[in-house]
Amino acid sequence: MSASQGAAAPPAPPRVEIPRPQAQVLRRFLQGDLGSLRVLIAIAVIWAIFQVEEPRFLTAVNLTNLVLQITAVGLISVGVVLVLLLGEIDLSVGAVSGVCSAIMAVLNVQHGWNPYLAIAAAVVAGAGIGLFQGFMFDFFGIPSFVVTLAGLLAWQGVQLKVLGDTGTVNLNDPTITGLTGTFYGDTVGWLIAIVGVGLFAGTRLWARRSRVRAGLEAPPLGAVVLRISVVAVAVIATVAVLNASRGVPLACLILVGFVLVFQYVTTRTRFGRHIYAVGGNAEAARRAGISIMKVRVVVFMLASSMAAVGGIMAASRLLAVNQSSGGSDLLLLAIAGPVVAGTSLFGGRGSIWTALLGAVVIGSISNGMDLLALASSIQFIVTGAVLLAAVVVDALARRQRAASGRI
């Protein structure tokens, strides 16, 4: 027997199965990477159900009211997302929005302050509250749940003290009431749409070109164009619906503006990367030289500041501040929205866009149930069930990522 005949055959190389595109999309969907798609599907289903049950749901008038209803919750949720990215929770945002709106109302109505100064004072008060709570949480190692739960109780008491015996302060300053009472005509609305779509398209194409020039992996041009087209259709449809009613509301522009600013901060700045790093693994972030205390305190300051902004918008829409401002289900809605839209409760995963998308989901459910005249008890049960379902989906997605070795 020759040597060539006696030698063992080399082992066959392992077979590598390349997953099909459909399987990749399904895997990413199950692991939570396509959270926006999941939310958009949910919105479409919710709108379809309510439209079948109540034909007024998709009218221009009701959709305009929906935009105004979600503004305050969406703004508060922007700050909540930042806290959730750290893997923490802030249970005081509702109470903070109430006490800050009370400060603005009392300074403007009872003390005659300029409306801009009164609004600024309210936001500064919110930042101060966040600074205090963030310091107590990080410096003393008290769980954020406990610190903000104490704040939930304490700031409600401060709100009652600020409002005094009357309990209600009516707002009549046009600057404050105009925050939610200002609507732009058709021409301005279409101009805003053109500028917005143009900026989005320009930034996306420029980002792809920069990655190509740097020799980095870039998304296919067709995918970028498709995404721009989807956004363009959504913006045009939104402006068309709003113009069919009272026009594009200033409140909508304020909400989208804050979302864009914080989306840029979290994705394009060093501070934003530090937030994700601390939320993903605090110990690894500390060893990398990141000041964990600074990040946490600043995030809680921003969250309370956004709660103040949301409280101001809520007061502007209701034309008053009273003892129940910031109460009821505001806290639940502000936290439920981002979680429903895909921001993880475990930290390190999520996007500021989930504040807007989540507000649309939660606001649509609340608005639809109001149109159907469902009892408050049913509304609370449904909203709680939606939040629980979102947490379960988040936990399952995290389990899928762990099974695939991505965590």
Distance from C-alpha of 384 to C-alpha of 146, rounded to nearest angstrom: 21
For residue 212 the two structure tokens come to: 């190509």
**What residue type is assigned to position 112 of the chain?**
G
- Residue 135: the pLDDT is 94
Distance from C-alpha of 223 to C-alpha of 229, rounded to nearest angstrom: 10
**What residue type is assigned to position 17 of the chain?**
E
- Residue 12: the pLDDT is 54
Distance from C-alpha of 4 to C-alpha of 9, rounded to nearest angstrom: 10
For residue 131 the two structure tokens come to: 């600074």
pLDDT digits (tens, 9 = 90+) for 96-132: 999 999 999 999 999 999 999 999 999 999 999 999 9
For residue 287 the two structure tokens come to: 């060893």
Please name every residue paired with 169 in a beta bridge, in sequence order, or none if there are none: 321
- Residue 21: the pLDDT is 47
Distance of CA 260 to the CA centre of its chain: 11
Third-level CATH fold of 51-185+247-399: ABC transporter involved in vitamin B12 uptake, BtuC (1.10.3470)
CB under 8 Å to 117, separation ≥6 — which residues?
107
Task: Encode 118-157 in three state secondary structure.
Answer: HHHHHHHHHHHHHHHHHHHHHHCCCCHHHHHHHHHHHHHH
Helix 250-268, helix 292-318: angle, nearest 10? 170
Is residue 276 a contact partner of residue 85, using CB atoms and an 8 Å limit? yes
Output the CA–CA distances (angstroms, integers) from residue 304 to 178, 309, 318, in the order listed: 23, 9, 21
**256 exposure class (CB count in 10 Å sphere: 0-12, 13-18, 19+):** middle
CB atoms within 10 A of CB 230: 11
- Residue 404: the pLDDT is 65
- Where the chain has pLDDT below 70, the residues are 1-35, 401-407
Is residue 307 a contact partner of residue 81, using CB atoms and an 8 Å limit? no
- Residue 74: the pLDDT is 95
Is residue 273 a contact partner of residue 290, using CB atoms and an 8 Å limit? no
Is residue 102 a contact partner of residue 162, using CB atoms and an 8 Å limit? yes
> Where do runs of H (alpha helix) occur along 140-281?
144-163, 174-181, 186-213, 221-243, 250-268, 270-280
**308 exposure class (CB count in 10 Å sphere: 0-12, 13-18, 19+):** buried
For residue 393, the SS3 value is helix
- Residue 30: the pLDDT is 47
Distance from C-alpha of 129 to C-alpha of 163, rounded to nearest angstrom: 18
Distance of CA 361 to the CA centre of its chain: 11
Please name every residue paired with 184 in a beta bridge, in sequence order, or none if there are none: 248
Distance from C-alpha of 295 to C-alpha of 272, rounded to nearest angstrom: 9
**What residue type is assigned to position 400 of the chain?**
Q
pLDDT digits (tens, 9 = 90+) for 239-278: 999 999 999 999 999 999 999 999 999 999 999 999 999 9
State how beta strands 320-322 and 168-170 pair. antiparallel
CB atoms within 10 A of CB 391: 15
**What residue type is assigned to position 15 of the chain?**
R
Is residue 305 a contact partner of residue 126, using CB atoms and an 8 Å limit? yes
